[in-house]
Structure 1
Amino acid sequence: MQDTDGLDRCGVGIRGVAMAIDSVVWLAGSFVAAFAVAAATGQIEATAGSVTSDLEGGAALASMTLWLAIGIGYHTLLEWQFGRTIGKALVSVRVVADDGAPLSLGASLIRNVARLVDWLPFVYLVGIAAIVVSDEQRRIGDRLGGTAVVRP
């Protein structure tokens, strides 16, 4: 959708495909976080055929926190430096400031921390609803960060 500001903003469909691709990175991040915490706490078991961990309590909370930091960091740093994550690059979209300028680190961080709200209650339901009702196709993170997802 070409907006009055000249930006070709992206809707739910293409953004969903990009997020599905980026979910592979989030999944890998969960394994990295779990095994890093398991190794640090001595809760890792290695056998001839596998390596496993069974985290509970504080270790599980530490793993979840590390996983969220990896996921938010992935989006924040790649969008700040390159305007796109791997998923966005593969579907040829990018994140820019509302005026079309490159993102600042602060805008990228705000946008991606707000991703936790957009994700609620599951599978980005709040974010999808926000995009659908927005004239500018912006999720809550885009509104708070002053950003837009566009086709280059």
Structure 2
Amino acid sequence: MQHDSSDQCGLGIRGVAMAIDSVIWFGLLFVAVYAVAAATGQIETVANGTDADLDGGPASAALALWLCLGVGYHTLSEWRFGRTVGKALVRIRVEREDGTPLSLRSSLVRNLVRLVDWLPFGYGIGILSVLVSGQPRRLGDRLGGTVVVRR
């Protein structure tokens, strides 16, 4: 089933889904920072819990781990279930252009390009690519051969 633009979701509902998924990304940031801090011995016990103050190489490692966890979350969720938690809550899903479920490759391409779509901040390139093309597909959707639809 080939999708036409009437099936596809626009920026608004996709933005709501991403806002929900941002809570998960925020949690993954803590996982990454504390994992690297534990591995490098940079966790401090403070009066109200623990603190991790990373800089230099460990901070870069935590950033890289966080990006891998975030892209991995989207890639695996969309590949296995067609949606992330945010997409499930707003009842949208990702499919291939022909209406079939995503392959691991299409999901990975779509989500690696998410890092470019996000630039310079807040999905600037992704939003611009939607507005310029007149299609509700960000760059990652185009390169991954995917569409986001209501289901």
Q: Report if TM-score (shorter chain) is over 0.5.
A: yes
Distance in 2 between residues matched to 1:6 and 1:29, nearest whole Å: 33
Secondary structure, in 3 states, of the residue corresponding to 2:148? strand
Q: CA deviation at 1:100?
A: 0.6
Contact 1:76 1:105 in 2 (8 A): yes
Q: CA deviation at 1:133?
A: 2.7
Contact 1:5 1:99 in 2 (8 A): no
Contact 2:3 2:99 in 1 (8 A): no
For this pair of structures, how many residues does the alignment match? 150
Q: TM-score, normalised by structure 2?
A: 0.95
Contact 1:12 1:132 in 2 (8 A): no
Distance in 1 between residues matched to 2:44 and 2:121, nearest whole Å: 32
User: Are 1:92 and 2:87 counterparts?
Assistant: no
Contact 2:3 2:97 in 1 (8 A): no
The CA RMSD over aligned residues, in Å, is 1.5
Alignment match, 1:65: 64
Q: CA deviation at 1:5?
A: 3.9
User: Are 1:31 and 2:33 counterparts?
Assistant: no
Q: Structure 2: 5+ residue runs without aligned partners? A: none
User: Are 1:83 and 2:88 counterparts?
Assistant: no
Q: Structure 1: 5+ residue runs without aligned partners? A: none
Distance in 2 between residues matched to 1:133 and 1:109, nearest whole Å: 24
Alignment match, 1:42: 41
